[in-house]
Amino acid sequence: MTRHSTATPLHPAVRWLLPTVLAGAIGCGAAPGTEGQDATGESTSALSIDQSILPKQFRTTWNPGIPGGVPRDDDPVRPATVWVPAGNPYGGYSVNPALIGPGNAAAFTAAAQAAINAAGAAATPSSRKIVKLKAGTYYVNPQTLPNKGGRVGLYVTADNVTLRGEGPDQTHLVANGTIPEYGTVVLFGHRTGFSDADFRVVAVTGNAWMWTTNVPVADASRFAVGDVITIDMLDGPAKAVGSVQFNGDFMWFYDGQYFKRQPTLSWAGPSTGAPGINVSDLTSANAAAINAVPRWRSMMQTSEIVGISGNTLYLKDPLVMDFFEWRQPQVWRVVPKDNRSVFLGNRWSGIESIGVAGGNNQWGFPGGTIAFSYMAYAWAKNVEADGSRYDQAHPGKDGYNIGLGRCYRCEVRDSYVHDSRDENPGGQAYGIVIGTGTSASLVENNISINNNKPVASISSGGGNVIAYNYVDNAVLWNSPGWQESAIDDSHGAFTHNDLIEGNWSPNIGSDTTHGNSAWHTHFRNYANGRNSSGNMTGNIRAVGVDAYTHDSAFVGNVLRGGNVYQTTPSSPNGTPIFQLGNNFRGFGSWDNGYSAAHIYRDANWDSVNGRIVWASGARTIPPSLYLGARPAFFGSNPWPWVDPLTGTVSTLPAKARYDAGRPNVVP
């Protein structure tokens, strides 16, 4: 894919103001370089970040999450009050506090779901509703998800509803044994339409260029300002790269098609009519790349329509890649402006200050402990997603602790995510997952430990930020010496254009188990090469860029743990700082040097060189690539906490919480 369009990008002020004027809203932006909001209500900090240290193809306007953060109860635009039954029989709580314990699981599940439904019916954008639970341990039985079928625990399918406890150490929701099928203990959204017509798929009629916000379509009248949409395009014809076939800039293997739009209507979106695929080895993968994959759609981005003029849509976020007309892009609805009018996604709902344990995923996503599917401006804040298994209150989970799929500007923050029932290979032991098509979302200030993949991206849509998390103990029970991927940019092709900043992790980078990725930026992370617990002997590295992954940037990181600077197909021996091109179709198999030839590195300190290594002379390293100032959760601790000039680090608040034995206590 061409990464530099011939179109002239809009000036940031024009880029953000134009859609607002077209939508009929008029306002003034904050002065450049100051904190505040522009005319669309967005924080201006992302618009004034100095990204000159990055080559042009990596520069992205990372402005993730909910504008202004998770709304407070006294928010001037979206205030919230607790929903209580008539007469307030439970003293300010939404559900009878006496319904604790496994013996009350049926009664609690019915009462809690009734409270969620009633709160949803009463909630409006200017009067959000909170379903508040008193301290105690409540057990959740399986329920059938309305209209779509499949069993889950509690579900929120309305806008503007918050499920809140009195703290993750105080209020607990526990799966009452096995919840089958979808299996999620708490599910937000998953309103995925009854037919293709609900999605309103419309052809894009011209090139939609990287760094711009305007998308020409065949019929803009099918959309409304406020709709959240996805734009995607055909994967395109195959081209040989070494022993593999690339479609465009990517490849995918085995069950990599699962997280993409399918030939027929599915949870992943409207039908494509593309050929089905059966990939079991490299030969069948290459045959599929030639004969079937060209009609699949793996590159995508999700955004919100903020203006419509004629048949041109104006989006909230600049496009992170070029969507070429010849690859037949399409735009389709994910979360309508009014979710009550059609069975699609929801917005402005979340879960706070509560512990949730258990969950299953017999039907795949959205299984696990907590899931968000087809959601916009949703959040998990100060929750514990507990997958541990050792008694009735800790039944273990399969799947994801917290999963995002088809989400836009959602947040997972200030939370503690840990453990699974089965930490062997097979997809049952993932922590926080940024999944299918999810864009502009924020995973910040969390603890994620004790899983195969504590943090992973799977077929995400770009513009996401994974930042300031403590990530550790990435394991495989059946290979206890194998160092698993801890922050994994890509466990399902094709992820792209995300920012991984300021995390503490055994390693950073991308695998290619299900395909490759590109154009991610890793900035000011600390990677020490190994889990904190256990004696790891295999796959040890601070950075892993697996076979045929390309064009990832590593800038300003502090990297430890190796005895050689890098391993490549031509020099594979030693414990590296950078492992480039390994794990192709299995452990210890190398590519043809493609990954090593397509990596960008600058201003990283590593323990082999014992100093910072510049790409082309010393330059200014900005404190952040998405924040304009010290985040509040750092308190008085130094920020940035990772200093590549000296190879030193100071305090990461998330790790400090864990080390102090108080992972759920967020200042």
Both tokens of residue 54?
């990055």
The answer, yes or no, to whether residue 191 has pLDDT greater than 90, is: no
pLDDT at 46: 58
Contact between 329 and 251 (Cβ < 8 Å): no
pLDDT at 535: 84
The mean pLDDT of 317-323, rounded to a whole number, is 97
> Higher pLDDT residue, 38 or 63?
63
Instruction: For strands 465-467 and 442-444, give the pairing.
Output: parallel
pLDDT at 35: 32
Handedness of CA 583, 586, 591, 594 (dihedral sign): negative
The answer, yes or no, to whether residue 8 has pLDDT greater than 50, is: no
The amino acid present at 159, given as its one-letter code, is D
pLDDT at 48: 82
Both tokens of residue 356?
């949730």
In the chain the domains, ranked by start, together with CATH numbers, are: 12-48+196-341 (no CATH), 80-192+344-549+561-579 (2.160.20.10)
pLDDT at 42: 42
The answer, yes or no, to whether residue 506 has pLDDT greater than 90, is: yes
CA separation, residue 45 to residues 49, 58, 439, 595, 628 (Å): 7, 18, 19, 33, 5
CA separation, residue 391 to residues 17, 109, 155, 175 (Å): 55, 20, 25, 12
pLDDT at 585: 75
Residue with tokens 């009050």: 81
**In angstroms, rounded to a whole number, what is the distance separating the alpha carbons of residues 452 and 431?**
8
pLDDT at 2: 33
What is the CA 399 to chain-centroid distance, rounded? 15
Q: Which of 34-38, 129-133, 166-170, 320-324 has the lowest mean pLDDT?
A: 34-38
Express each pLDDT in 522-536 by its tens digit: 999 999 999 999 889
CA separation, residue 307 to residues 74, 303, 337, 406, 462 (Å): 29, 12, 13, 22, 21
Q: For residue 31, name the pLDDT band (cuts at 50, 70, 90).
A: very low
Express each pLDDT in 459-497 by its tens digit: 999 999 999 999 999 999 999 999 999 999 999 899 999
pLDDT at 343: 84
pLDDT at 644: 98
**In angstroms, rounded to a whole number, what is the distance separating the alpha carbons of residues 623 and 63?**
15
pLDDT at 77: 96
The answer, yes or no, to whether residue 626 has pLDDT greater than 50, is: yes
Which residues are CB-neighbours of 169 under 8 A, at least 6 positions away?
A: 355, 384, 664, 665
Q: For residue 45, name the pLDDT band (cuts at 50, 70, 90).
A: low
pLDDT at 584: 87
Whole-model pTM over 0.85: yes
pLDDT at 27: 25
> Higher pLDDT residue, 575 or 17?
575
Q: What DSSP line would sit under 303-324, residue for residue?
A: EEEEEEETTEEEESS--SS-B-
The mean pLDDT of 550-559, rounded to a whole number, is 96
**Distance from first CA to last CA of the chain, Å, rounded?**
45
Q: Which residues pair with 379 in a beta bridge?
A: 350, 411
Contact between 127 and 83 (Cβ < 8 Å): no
pLDDT at 47: 60
pLDDT at 338: 81
